[in-house]
Amino acid sequence: MTKITWVKEFGKRVYLTFKLWLTALASVLVLSIIIGTNLMFFLPLAVRIALAGIYLIVTEIMVFPFVQLITGSTQQIISNFRYNKKHKPKERYLPNAKQIAEKMNIKYDKPIYVTDNPSVTGPFTNLFSGKIYFPSSEIEELHDTENEATFAHELAHIKYALRFVGEMSLATLATWVFSMFLAQFTINLTIFIIAEFAFMMLTLSFVIRRNESRADWAAGKATTPEAVISVLEYFRAKCKGDGGTITHPSIQARIKRLERLFDSNNQQPDDCARH
């Protein structure tokens, strides 16, 4: 029984790995062009059936993690709203919060909000209200310098919120341009929609992951790269994994990029977000 559980867990990790999902997205785009232009009619029946089967499989791999992401995020937002109505989060001022905000050229005089909500498993920022939330268990486990690095990371999301919205808008525009191009030779509506969705997720994922890398870089400059790396290593141990996701680069990639800050001569602009 233990062996079967281990096999299932291993299969789940492989199935949900970001690289597999990324490969599925690219495969869907290629197969959509092949199938959508009716080139399949010139292929033998066995090849057509095989391609159709592969298309169904990679489409499922493409959609499943995204649906899980959306439902999980929605559930957390609703849960946090309901929890806060009964249990007000505690306000807490970090000692060096004002200095960190000044270094980042942003005005921020609000406290951080510490919550016991079990659905909040990590720090997050409500961009509409500008409030930064910390789970109570985490803020107690981390050192003050690590909490300040986490605060700086979340503050960077507030600072670059408009830029992020602009980049998301550009990704949406790029998806529209791709859709107009694809519509010229794709007659199957289902294939067209799936291909459009795959392209949109590739571009949006790039923008969102870029935004996380930018926040890491800004936090490393406002505090210290060692503190940010320490927080990332804490999450790696807590989550027992290092793989990237739809929204975040892998922890190892983020640490490797932050190590460039150790050499002050190689510092890059705040908006640099290569990873």
pLDDT in tens, 57-90: 888 777 777 776 666 667 777 777 788 888 888 9
Within a 10 A sphere around the Cβ of 138, how many other Cβ atoms? 20
CA dist., res. 143 & res. 223, Å (int): 13
Question: Most confidently modeled of 63-67, 138-142, 146-150, 242-246?
Answer: 146-150
Token pair 């107690």 is at which residue?
140
Question: What SS3 class is residue 90?
Answer: strand
Region 24-46: mean pLDDT is 78
Q: Say which residues have a Cβ less than 8 Å from residue 107's Cβ, sequence separation at least 6.
A: 101
Of 225, 228, 232, 229, the C-alpha closest to 262 is 225
Residue-level pLDDT at 210: 94
* Segment 85-121, tens digit of pLDDT: 888 889 998 889 999 999 999 988 889 999 888 878 8
Strand ranges inside 23-129, DSSP E:
90-92, 112-115, 124-126
Closest C-alpha among 127, 189, 125, 128 to residue 152: 125
Is the distance from CB of 112 to CB of 132 less than 8 angstroms?
yes
240: left (phi over 0), alpha (psi -120 to 50) or beta: left
Binned at pLDDT 50, 70 and 90, residue 175 comes out as: very high
Return the C-alpha torsion angle 104, 235, 208, 28, nearest 10.
170
Name the residue ranges covered by the structural domains of the chain. 2-266
> What whole-number distance in Å separates Cα of residue 251 and Cα of residue 244?
7
- Burial category of 149 from C-beta neighbours within 10 Å (exposed 0-12, middle 13-18, buried 19 and up): buried
Give the integer Cα–Cα distance in Å for 189 and 183.
Answer: 9
Which has the higher per-residue pLDDT, 202 or 275? 202
What would the pLDDT profile of 182-240 be if each residue is shown by its tens digit?
A: 888 777 788 888 888 889 888 988 999 999 999 999 999 999 999 999 999 999 888 77
Q: Is the Cβ–Cβ distance between 16 and 65 less than 8 Å?
A: yes
Side chain identity at residue 89, one-letter code: P
Q: Is the pLDDT confidence value at 274 over 70?
A: no
Confidence tier at 270 by pLDDT (50, 70, 90): very low
Report the percentage of the chain scoring pLDDT > 90: 34
Q: What is the pLDDT of residues 9-18, one digit of tens each?
A: 545 554 456 7
For the cut 50, the answer to whether the pLDDT of residue 137 exceeds it is yes
Is residue 265 scored above 50 in pLDDT?
A: no
Burial (0-12, 13-18, 19+ Cβ within 10 Å), 208: middle
pLDDT of residue 63: 79
The pLDDT of residue 148 is above 50: yes
For residue 184, what are its two tokens? 């010229």
